């Protein structure tokens, strides 16, 4: 899903939470909103690692060509996993929620991340691309250490 849609839905989600809990600390609302799209920063990290360029535009180009390649594989019936996105893993979500026991503000970041990941999953299921992502950090680790 494109960042602009994550920002849009993230804003709606933040407003809904605000409507449910009007007394909520605005700082927490801000964190929730930012987390609902900044989790995609891992996509930028992946692009920088592949292109060796810091430019955000180059990162967008990278994903455009990656999407084309993925589309071609899909047409050929190939179901390959795409890039690895560390912030989108189940383990990273658990790590943040566990840390929130000690640092309560992290709970709002966790909520934004979960909302983001649910949108990603819905979008991928709708486009029949659920298989493209590695959802578990330890699966990824096992694979790279055995290859």
- Residue 134 sits in the site that holds Zn ion (CB under 5 A): no
Q: Please identify, using beta-carbon distances, which residue of 24 and 121 lies nearer to Zn ion.
A: 121
Q: What does the alpha-carbon distance between residue 22 and residue 79 come to, in Å, rounded to a whole number?
A: 45
Q: Please identify, using beta-carbon distances, which residue of 24 and 45 lies nearer to Zn ion.
A: 45
Q: How many CB atoms neighbour CB 19 within 10 A? A: 8
Q: Please identify, using beta-carbon distances, which residue of 35 and 106 lies nearer to Zn ion.
A: 35
Closest approach, Cβ 97 to Zn ion, in A, equals 18
Closest approach, Cβ 25 to Zn ion, in A, equals 26
Q: Which residue is nearest to Zn ion (CB)?
A: 120
Closest approach, Cβ 85 to Zn ion, in A, equals 7
- Which parts of 103-132 interact with Zn ion (CB under 5 A)? 120
Short-list 87, 82, 83, 81, CA closest to 117: 87
Q: How many CB atoms neighbour CB 87 within 10 A? A: 18
| 13 in Cβ contact with 36 (< 8 Å) | yes
Q: What does the alpha-carbon distance between residue 85 and residue 118 come to, in Å, rounded to a whole number?
A: 15
Closest approach, Cβ 139 to Zn ion, in A, equals 18
Q: Write out the two tokens for 62.
A: 């990278």
> Residue with structure tokens 């989108």?
88
> Residue with structure tokens 């819905």?
122
Binding Zn ion (rule: CB under 5 A), the pick from 40, 46, 111, 115 is 40
Q: Please identify, using beta-carbon distances, which residue of 42 and 61 lies nearer to Zn ion.
A: 42
Q: For binding to Zn ion (CB under 5 A), which residues are involved?
A: 40, 120
């Amino acid at each position: 899903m494109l960042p602009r849609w994550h920002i849009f839905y993230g804003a709606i989600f933040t407003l809904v939470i605000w409507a449910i809990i009007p007394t909520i600390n605005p700082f927490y609302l801000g964190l929730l909103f930012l987390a609902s799209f900044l989790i995609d920063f891992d996509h930028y990290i992946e692009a920088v690692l592949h292109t060796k360029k810091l430019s955000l535009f180059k990162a967008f180009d990278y994903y455009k060509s990656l999407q084309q390649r993925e589309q071609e594989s899909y047409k050929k019936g190939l179901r390959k996993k795409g890039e690895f996105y560390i912030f989108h893993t189940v383990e990273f979500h658990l790590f943040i929620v566990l840390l929130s026991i000690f640092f309560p503000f992290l709970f709002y970041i966790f909520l934004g991340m979960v909302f983001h990941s649910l949108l990603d999953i819905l979008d991928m299921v709708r486009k029949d691309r659920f298989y493209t992502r590695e959802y578990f950090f330890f699966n990824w680790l096992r694979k790279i250490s055995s290859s």
